[in-house]
Amino acid sequence: MRSLLTTVLCLSMTVCILANDFELGERQTGDHSVRDAFITKPPNYWNPKGTIVTVGVTCPVNEITTYVKIHNINDSQVNYNPYRGVGTKSVAVKVTGKRDEGLWLKVDGYCIEKSQ
């Protein structure tokens, strides 16, 4: 039983370390793109916390978010901290990179009309 637990923990750590994508929600029929952008942030040498970017996706009036994907293009390790989930008018995700490394992100956000 201990070996099974150790194996599962090692595999999950490997997946977390290798993952460069953050996906929230899923695509739905009839949704449309509201954000398709590249975000670049140079290294922040004087901040001991590392490079920090807040990524936001906001929908028009009477629409809600269905899917948000953030892809880390460079091979550095990043942490994703979502502020709000899908199903709301806006989603914000705090992306934190390592110190002395910049961030290069691709953001996709989709919204759908809110059903009455």
- Alpha carbon 2 to its chain centroid, in Å, reads 33
Mean pLDDT of 50-64: 92
* CATH number for the domain formed by residue range(s) 20-113: 2.60.120
Asked if the model's pLDDT at residue 17 lies above 90, the reply is no
Portion of the chain with pLDDT greater than 90, in percent: 57
Phi, psi of 98, deg, nearest 5: -70, 160
Asked if the model's pLDDT at residue 2 lies above 90, the reply is no
pTM above 0.75, yes or no: yes
Q: Which residues have C-beta within 8 Å of that of residue 62, sequence separation ≥ 6?
A: 113, 114
Mean pLDDT of 16-31: 82
Domain layout of the chain by residue ranges = 20-113
pLDDT at 74: 87
Rounded CA separation 39/23 (Å): 16
More confident: 65 or 18: 65
Strand segments, DSSP code E, in the chain are: 21-25, 32-41, 52-58, 63-72, 78-82, 90-97, 103-113
pLDDT at 98: 87
Tell me the per-residue pLDDT of 70-105, one tens digit each, with 9 for 90 and over: 999 988 889 999 988 888 999 999 999 988 888 999
Number of neighbours of residue 12 by Cβ within 10 angstroms: 10
